[in-house]
């Protein structure tokens, strides 16, 4: 489970949903591992969401999250309980912690899985998009345990919370908990602007084809009129036109809005896996062969700099005329 500053991350509950499914297929047990200080209060919620066991490690040195103390506690828990499978959210925390732990335990790790299943021998089949997302590679780790995988938030389904019984077990914390490495001196929290991307009913996403920050302004204006949030592919994030938190796709967020408008986006599968669940997809691209058109309900071929300004004018005049958003 992942928690920061008193907030339990939803991805943990999503992983519990998948873990429950795998445990039911194999007769296994689901354990939720919770580290921090004063975190025991979430145990009941984790049991309701599918955990048979909550393994609890509470210690002042485990708050806030730090890589080395977390790795020590988890490695010790793995040696004690010998899980067959261990799942992490592909969040910034999980993407740092899971590989460290895998290396410590001398086992493998598949990053950014889009699905997980068991084969007849109980091996975990870890589905990962490869070759620019054109294929889905199935990865197995038959010779080492635990089998480890990270999964993006929003990919797995939580199970319906239900009254279930479960056990809470306190993990022993070694007196020599590894506290070397970076220290947290101060925490700055960046307040998200507007609605979070994952919750927006309208997402306007921009790609490399936007060409620069001036073009980005048009996307902001469109979102201002429609209500919603601006998303991005990876290149605009790399260029600094958009924030990391706005990236949609395999290494970013998964969105399922009622309306997704992709502007200047080619439609590489690394991006498409994060938006293909959208209800209606509109794509604007100057290349008639752009792959995004394959997943689009409405296709607009042309230069967005010619398409968006008249569209914005038309929307403004309809809104001024008393039209609904």
Ligand X SMILES: Cc1cc2nc3c(=O)[nH]c(=O)nc-3n(C[C@H](O)[C@H](O)[C@H](O)COP(=O)(O)OP(=O)(O)OC[C@H]3O[C@@H](n4cnc5c(N)ncnc54)[C@H](O)[C@@H]3O)c2cc1C
How many angstroms separate the CA atoms of 87 and 11, rounded? 10
Please classify residue 121 by burial: count the beta carbons closer than 10 Å to its beta carbon, then call 0-12 exposed, 13-18 middle and 19+ buried.
exposed
- Which range touches ligand X (CB under 6 A), out of 44-52, 176-184, 238-246, 261-269? 261-269
**Piece of the chain touching ligand X by CB under 6 A; list 58-66, 167-175, 270-278, 316-324:** 270-278
Which of 33, 46, 242, 290 is in the footprint of ligand X by CB under 6 A? Answer: 290
Whole-angstrom distance, CA of residue 224 vs CA of residue 312: 10
Provide the minimum distance between the beta carbon of 249 and ligand X in the complex, in angstroms, as a whole number. Answer: 2
* Shortest Cβ 293–ligand X spacing (Å): 10
Residue placing its CB nearer to ligand X in the complex, 36 or 249: 249
> Residue 23 or residue 205: which is nearer to ligand X going by CB?
205
Q: Provide the 3-class DSSP secondary structure of residue 102.
A: helix
Name the segment binding ligand X (CB under 6 A); options: 83-91, 167-175, 228-236, 310-318. 228-236
Residue 21 C-beta: closest distance to ligand X, Å: 25
Q: Which stretch binds ligand X (CB under 6 A): 16-24, 67-75, 161-169, 247-255?
A: 247-255
304 binds ligand X (CB under 6 A): yes
End-to-end CA distance of the chain: 39
Count, residues in the chain: 325
Q: Give the one residue of 10, 100, 305, 315 binding ligand X; rule: CB under 6 A.
A: 305
Q: Are 55 and 171 within 8 A, CB to CB?
A: yes
Determine contact, residues 283/267, Cβ cutoff 8 Å.
yes
Residue in this structure with the two tokens 């998948």, named with its chain if needed: 18
Binds ligand X (CB under 6 A): choice among 67, 139, 173, 208: 208
The residues near 244 (Cβ < 8 Å, ≥ 6 apart) are 237, 252
Interaction of residue 110 with ligand X, rule CB under 6 A: no
d(CA 174, CA 308): 60
Q: Choose between 84 and 311: whose C-beta lies nearer to ligand X.
A: 311
64 binds ligand X (CB under 6 A): no
Least distance to ligand X, CB of residue 220, Å: 17
Q: Where are the alpha helices (DSSP H) in 158-258?
A: 213-226, 234-239
CB of 70 to ligand X, least distance (A): 25
DSSP codes of every residue in 223-236:
HHHH-SEEEE-HHH
DSSP helix/strand/coil, 242: coil
b/e per residue 18-45 (b: at least 16 CB within 10 A)? bbbbbbeeeebebbbbbbbeebeebbbb
Tell me: does residue 238 bind ligand X (CB under 6 A): no
User: Does residue 284 bind ligand X (CB under 6 A)?
Assistant: yes
Nearer to ligand X, 261 or 268 (CB): 268
Q: Which stretch binds ligand X (CB under 6 A): 54-62, 82-90, 303-311, 315-323?
A: 303-311
Binding site for ligand X (CB under 6 A): 132, 207-209, 233-235, 247-252, 264-266, 268, 270-271, 274, 284-287, 290, 303-305
């Amino acid at each position: 489970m992942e928690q920061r500053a008193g907030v339990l991350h939803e991805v943990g509950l999503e992983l519990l949903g998948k873990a429950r499914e795998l445990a039911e297929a194999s007769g296994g047990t689901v354990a939720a591992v919770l580290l921090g200080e004063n975190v025991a209060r979430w145990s009941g919620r984790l049991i309701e969401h599918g955990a048979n066991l909550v393994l609890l490690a509470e210690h002042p040195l485990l708050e806030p999250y730090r890589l080395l103390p977390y790795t020590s506690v988890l490695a010790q828990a793995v040696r004690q309980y010998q899980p067959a499978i261990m799942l992490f959210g592909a969040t910034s925390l999980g993407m740092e912690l899971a590989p460290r732990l895998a290396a410590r335990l001398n086992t493998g790790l598949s990053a950014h899985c889009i699905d997980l299943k068991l084969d007849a021998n109980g091996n975990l089949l870890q589905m990962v998009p490869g070759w620019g997302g054109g294929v889905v590679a199935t990865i197995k780790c038959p010779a080492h345990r635990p089998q480890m995988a990270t999964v993006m938030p929003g990919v797995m389904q939580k199970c319906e919370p239900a009254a279930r019984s479960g056990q809470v077990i306190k993990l022993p914390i070694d007196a020599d908990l590894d506290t070397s490495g970076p220290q947290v001196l101060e925490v700055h929290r960046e307040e998200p602007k507007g609605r979070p991307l994952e919750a927006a009913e309208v997402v306007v996403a921009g790609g490399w084809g936007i060409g620069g920050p001036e073009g980005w302004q048009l996307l902001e204006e469109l979102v201002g009129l429609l209500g919603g949030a601006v998303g991005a592919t990876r290149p605009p994030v790399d260029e600094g036109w958009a924030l990391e938190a706005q990236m949609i796709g395999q290494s970013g967020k998964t969105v399922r809005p009622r309306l997704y408008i992709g502007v200047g986006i080619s439609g590489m599968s690394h991006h498409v896996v994060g938006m293909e669940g959208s209800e209606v997809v509109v794509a604007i691209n100057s290349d008639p062969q752009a792959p995004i058109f394959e997943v689009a309900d409405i296709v607009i071929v042309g230069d967005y700099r010619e398409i968006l300004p008249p569209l914005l004018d038309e929307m403004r005049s309809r809104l001024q005329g008393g039209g609904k958003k």
